[in-house]
Amino acid sequence: MPEFDKRYNLFGGLTFMKTIFTLIGILLLILLFLLLITIVRTLLLKQKTSVYHGSDDDKRSNDYALKLQKMIKVDTVSIKNQPDPDKFRKLHKVMEKLFPNVFKTCEKHDIDGNLLVRWPGRNSKMQPIVLTSHLDVVAAEGDWTYPPFEGKIVDGKIYGRGSFDVKCGVFSFYQAVEELIKDGYVPECDIYLASSCTEEVGGDGAPKMSKWFEDHKIRPFMLCDEGGCITEDPFVGVKGNFAAVGIFEKGYGDIKIIAKGNGGHSSAPGKNTPIARLAKFEAEIEKKSPFKVEFTPAVDSLLLTMAEYCSNFWIKMILHNLWLFKPLLKIVMPAISPQGAAMLQTTMCFTMQKGSNGYNVIPQEAYVTANMRYIPFQGKDESIQLVKDIAKKYDLEVEELGCSEPSSSLDLNGPQYKMVKDTINKIFPSVEVIPYIVTGGTDSRFYDRSVDACVRFEPINSTKDQLSRMHGIDENIDINTLPLAVDFYKEIIRKQEER
């Protein structure tokens, strides 16, 4: 009997192992088959190129640069909680000289230094459109190669604070209207040019202009603002220039995480002092983000488009076969593209920290602040609650300092997106259009309630270096990008005839 049991166990064990190996073999065959499918699909995908060509009209480029130079020369640095409307009215006067036809033909509204101009159209009952970019700029600190408020033109570039962010945008749509008026053109609908003076400090300029539309019971069909631009090499393995159209912007929030204790002398420290608890909390957040990672239709569209332009075969294979590789991308995206990762989830970044005022003093209270950017599928309340749950483990308090929800999203199948995409295809025919999630903040978010749709796209080309200098030293743009930006706004205005 014992020998029978032994043989039974032996054969039973062999059968079990055979089953396991069979299952493993089947699984490997399935994986091999899936891999073969992805390789074949990738090999069949046609390689495309997306290239930006600046204007070859040197006269227009130089003339426009000289006009933009005069706008840059006016120092319009905005300071939080220190409004100075007269500073911006100086720029208004310069613009009145630069664009005489605009200010002779259009209605001007000065809303506490914020500039709103209405160009009357043929059909007053038709919903108008709004072209907007802000007048204010950030401070110009550090050692610049050329003075930041001189607008120096060197080797085909114009340098200065606001050259890229975003006086070039204001110049471009004003110049477009100036030339159309000079040519005798009358738009189909009213065209509004709206420029706030508080965008860089999150002030009340855009909210005041948005309220103006609401008070006058005017609901624009579309608003075009900054947010995306023509950008270089937007994703790892992808080379070229792409028109990134911002379809929504993430919510914004500042929070303060506070640790309290008894304080004391550092010569006899206890465990879990305030700073130590904060450090543990920060380490946990950094090690494993508590926020959901999800792909939206916009991100899917972006990555699938990128696959067609990717030169690296393996990255191309992953991007072109999201149906299989999404779980992998969720894990590796932060390593290969922090900007891409930010489009998949709420983000949290620690920014400031304070403890005691003495080197040898244990603080009775310490804190760290964090900036959060909320994704629509996990908004402010849910995101902050996740932070509070982790903070509770370390006996920490969380204080909200100021928050806003994500904006509503532009419909990728809607008429506004199609109109902008068609315009880009006409003015920049060799540049691919991609949807883009704006991780920063723009004035557009304040118009959510008062317009049908917000399109966040500035028709300016930027290299990686230029983009990195946007709020930094030696901000600049190529002057040959200006004529095409003007032509873009002209076309957007003319396209209202097709509605």
Read off the pLDDT of residues 125-184 as tens digits, 9 standing for 90 and up. Answer: 999 999 999 999 999 999 999 999 999 999 999 999 999 999 999 999 999 999 999 999
Q: What whole-number percentage of the chain has pLDDT above 90?
A: 85
Give the confidence band of 27 by pLDDT, cuts at 50, 70, 90. confident
Dihedral of CA atoms 465, 470, 472, 477 in degrees, nearest 10, equals: 60
- What pLDDT sits at residue 333? 86
Helix (H, G, I), strand (E, B) or coil at 394: coil
CA distance 103 to 488: 21
Q: pLDDT (tens digit, 9 = 90+) per residue, 185-237?
A: 999 999 999 999 999 998 999 999 999 999 999 999 999 999 999 999 998 88
- CA nearest neighbour of 286 among 367, 345, 355, 349: 349
User: Quick one: which of 172, 154, 160 has its CA closest to 64?
Assistant: 172
**How confident is the model at residue 5, as a pLDDT?**
53
| pTM (2 d.p.) | 0.89
At 4 the pLDDT is 47
35 touches 461 (CB < 8 A): no
Amino acid in position 472 = G
Q: Which CATH number fits domain 58-234+408-498: 3.30.360.10, 1.10.3720.10, 3.40.50.1100, 3.40.630.10?
A: 3.40.630.10
Environment class of 23 (CB within 10 Å of its CB; exposed 0-12, middle 13-18, buried 19+) = exposed
Tokens found for residue 238: 């992808």
Q: What is the DSSP letter of 445?
A: G
Cα angle at 43 between 39 and 45, to 5 degrees? 120
Query: What's the confidence (pLDDT) of residue 63?
Result: 98
Give the residue extent of every domain in the chain: 58-234+408-498, 251-404
Taking the C-alpha atoms of residue 330 and residue 151, their distance in angstroms, rounded to an integer, is 43
Tokens 């308090």 map to which residue?
397
Three-state SS at 428: coil
Concatenated DSSP letters of 65-121: HHHHHHHHTS--B--TT---HHHHHHHHHHHHHH-HHHHHHSEEEEETTEEEEEE--
Question: Is the domain defined by 251-404 classed in CATH 2.170.150.70?
Answer: no
CA 36 → CA 33, 41, 43, 466, distances in Å?
Answer: 5, 9, 11, 41
User: Rounded CA gap, 300 and 320, in Å?
Assistant: 10
DSSP-derived secondary structure letter, 200: G
pLDDT at 290 over 60: yes
Give the confidence band of 1 by pLDDT, cuts at 50, 70, 90: very low
Q: What is the mean pLDDT of residues 378-395?
A: 96
Residue 433 parent element (H or E)? strand 432-438
Interior angle at CA 222, CA 220 and CA 224, nearest 5: 125
The rounded distance, in Å, linking the Cα atoms of 189 and 119 is 9
Q: pLDDT tens digits for 99-141? A: 999 999 999 999 999 999 999 999 989 999 999 999 999 999 9
Sign of CA dihedral 318, 319, 321, 323: positive
Retrieve residue 434's tokens.
């991609």
Q: What is the DSSP string of 120-189?
A: --S-TTS--EEEE--S-B----S--SS-TTT--EETTEEESTTTTTTHHHHHHHHHHHHHHHHTT---SS
pLDDT at 338: 83
Q: Is residue 400 within 8 Å of residue 387, measured between CB atoms?
A: no
Provide the 10 A C-beta neighbour count for residue 85: 14
Distance CA 222, CA 454 (A): 6
Integer Cα distance of 490 and 109 in angstroms: 22
CA distances (Å), origin 288, targets 60, 126, 284, 331, 348: 52, 51, 6, 11, 12
Q: How far is CA 212 from CA 61, 111, 194, 219, in A?
A: 35, 9, 11, 10
Give the Cα separation of 229 and 213 in Å (integer). Answer: 27
Using the predicted structure, report yes or no on whether residue 10 has a pLDDT greater than 70. no
